[in-house]
Chains A and B, each alone.
Chain A
């Protein structure tokens, strides 16, 4: 028997763990910075801003000043405090929302993709039904049936958001299911369940994670949108969407609506940058493979 072959040079730890130069891009750093800052703000809010977001202690409609960086609103509440406390509503809810959609959607999509046939038909028709309606309208319709409120808003958005995950996961599962390495494990005696869990799902997780991260931004927008329409959070909760709604009624006191709006803008951008970076970070392995074969 010939001597063991020399292996290629050990890849650096960074290369082996799949991290690549994608994380060192300015957009990635910006995304990480923004998201981390907001999460810290949300967690540490009581320590950072003194005062109660619901307290109506101050003179109304004060413009931004050194005492009130973001001014005060129509009933005398400090806008800065309310904006920061808004993160404690929007961000956890968005995370909850995306997690629920991801779990339901992925599970249904995986079943549809792996088993095909009737299961596939049922899931896909249900998804088509949801896709047929504009997102916001459908969410509003569900909310109308359930009654307004933040919890119901979350539920409504999950109903609207799961098909996107289902479709992505179904496609990935279908393409992975036929891959030779899945066949190989089945030939070794693996059950369909084992093949699904050990071989198929890990390859599916990456793109789904990208989708979820990008979805976080969309979830916040949708949540805020519903609250803006009066269907989600109810006053006096410091939710960004409802704050913008109130602010929109008093446009000349621009600070009331603008700062919550900027908050939404920055958070959503941060998650989008993060999602894009994730997608780039997960891709290079394939493109590197292709490059090496061209020679």
Chain B
């Protein structure tokens, strides 16, 4: 059942429903990198997914495009189940579900020219003659801000930012309606990040494509995303429109995350630290997974894990502090000195 978008109309293009991604390790306990996540991405919308190490966002990204088979739950693209890539070839209609990878150095084949790789999407679907494909590659290159002459060069001749542009051009060749970007800016310089962030935003708007933007960098996500989902230890703990999340985070972890980001307007003010460490995903805490580090913890938190519920229009939280239908701002807790 497709979920409703923020605006109320049913236009979701990617539906992740109760997805669990579990890795088995020989001789050790299995790890649930993703422990039951449901998300919905709408056309022409940008959903940011943030979280720190061990939260499972990368595993979720790979499950969302079918690189990894979910151990439970389903991923639907335009209502149709996404077949995981195995020996089977991805059907053409599902190639409109695309991914941009984190590492620009390993996402391009070092031995093939940039133009050939961008043309892959066209060649595989058999669209047009080789001449027409060459023209299209030129168009795609200019769409990502590179000259047409880039087509005849090899990946190692480009900088990291340029390689990411080539990788993006390659996905554009498939005319995507959903792009899952897994930390696409992480390996880039600060001044280049801005260029690529703007590029991804404008492409999403131009193409009407949904963009699932995964990053650990909250500040960038704040600029890029319409909606933000926060993950902790395999679960989504909060979903909200970006502006509202920043103004009033409802989950203690979201609050801590925002407070930990260094700010340029507070000179010499140290960002707040979060005590404790992320638990091992193979052995998550009982009850609410965040409770050992939560400044507002009470008894119920230690026993029962709170479900993700809608507490206000467009806002979902998984926290016992919040009640259905009433979003309560968090008390400002004193941070213990680090």
> Which positions in A face B, CB cutoff 8 Å?
1-5, 7-8, 11, 16, 115, 179-192, 194, 198-199, 202-203, 285, 288-289
Q: Could you say which of A7, A185, A190 contacts B150, with CB atoms under 8 Å apart?
A: A7
The chain A residue sitting closest to B87, CB to CB, is A192
Q: Check if B125 sits within 8 Å of A189, measured CB to CB.
A: yes
- Given A4-B142, A7-B150, A184-B170, verify A194-B124 contact (CB < 8 Å): yes
Chain B 89-100 interface mask (CB, 8 Å, partner A; 1/0): 111100101110
Q: Check if B108 sits within 8 Å of A187, measured CB to CB.
A: no
- Given A4-B146, A189-B92, verify A203-B120 contact (CB < 8 Å): no
Q: Check if B107 sits within 8 Å of A181, measured CB to CB.
A: yes
**Given known contacts A115-B87, A184-B107, A187-B66, what 13 new A-B pairs fall within 8 Å (CB)?**
A5-B162, A7-B153, A8-B159, A181-B107, A183-B67, A185-B120, A185-B124, A186-B85, A187-B95, A189-B124, A189-B125, A202-B112, A285-B156
Q: How far apart are the CA atoms of A190 and B124 in the complex, in Å?
A: 6
The chain B residue sitting closest to A289, CB to CB, is B156
Q: Check if B92 sits within 8 Å of A203, measured CB to CB.
A: no
The 4 closest A-B pairs by CB, nearest first: A180-B107, A4-B147, A180-B101, A191-B89
Q: Check if B95 sits within 8 Å of A189, measured CB to CB.
A: yes
Q: Which residues of A contact B106 (CB under 8 A)?
A: 179-181
- Given A180-B107, A199-B109, A285-B110, verify A5-B145 contact (CB < 8 Å): yes
Q: Which residues of B contact A189 (CB under 8 A)?
A: 89-92, 95, 121, 124-125, 174
Between A and B, 25 residue pairs with Cβ closer than 8 Å are A1-B145, A1-B202, A2-B145, A2-B195, A3-B145, A4-B142, A4-B145, A8-B157, A8-B159, A115-B87, A183-B67, A184-B120, A184-B167, A185-B120, A186-B85, A187-B65, A187-B97, A187-B98, A187-B99, A187-B174, A188-B90, A188-B121, A189-B89, A194-B124, A289-B156
Q: How far apart are the CA atoms of A236 and B222 in the complex, in Å?
A: 84
Interface magnitude class on chain B: 35 or more
The chain A residue sitting closest to B162, CB to CB, is A5
Q: Return B163 CB to nearest CB of chain A, in Å.
A: 11
B173 interface contact, C-beta 8 A:
yes
The chain A residue sitting closest to B85, CB to CB, is A186
Q: Check if A202 sits within 8 Å of B111, measured CB to CB.
A: yes
Q: Return A112 CB to nearest CB of chain B, in Å.
A: 15
B103 interface contact, C-beta 8 A:
yes
Q: Which residues of A contact B66 (CB under 8 A)?
A: 187
- Given A181-B106, A189-B89, verify A203-B173 contact (CB < 8 Å): no
B154 interface contact, C-beta 8 A:
yes
- Name the residue among B67, B111, B146 with the largest chain A CB count within 10 angstroms: B111
Q: Return B109 CB to nearest CB of chain A, in Å.
A: 4
Q: Which residues of B contact A198 (CB under 8 A)?
A: 112
Q: Which residues of A contact B108 (CB under 8 A)?
A: 181
Q: How far apart are the CA atoms of A194 and B65 in the complex, in Å?
A: 20
Chain B 110-154 interface mask (CB, 8 Å, partner A; 1/0): 111000010011001100000000000000011101110110011
The chain B residue sitting closest to A181, CB to CB, is B109
Q: Return A93 CB to nearest CB of chain B, in Å.
A: 32
Q: How far apart are the CA atoms of A195 and B171 in the complex, in Å?
A: 16
- Given A187-B85, A192-B89, verify A203-B145 contact (CB < 8 Å): no
Q: Return B301 CB to nearest CB of chain A, in Å.
A: 39
The chain A residue sitting closest to B206, CB to CB, is A1
Q: Check if B105 sits within 8 Å of A289, measured CB to CB.
A: yes
Q: Return B158 CB to nearest CB of chain A, in Å.
A: 7
Q: Check if B124 sits within 8 Å of A5, measured CB to CB.
A: no
Q: Which residues of B contact A182 (CB under 8 A)?
A: 109
Q: Check if A8 sits within 8 Å of B158, measured CB to CB.
A: yes
Q: Which residues of A contact B157 (CB under 8 A)?
A: 7-8, 11, 16
Q: Check if B174 sits within 8 Å of A188, measured CB to CB.
A: yes
Q: Which residues of A contact B141 (CB under 8 A)?
A: 4
Q: How far apart are the CA atoms of A183 and B92 in the complex, in Å?
A: 15
Q: How far apart are the CA atoms of A188 and B94 in the complex, in Å?
A: 9
Q: How far apart are the CA atoms of A212 and B134 in the complex, in Å?
A: 37
Q: Check if A184 sits within 8 Å of B101, measured CB to CB.
A: yes
Q: How far apart are the CA atoms of A172 and B314 in the complex, in Å?
A: 48
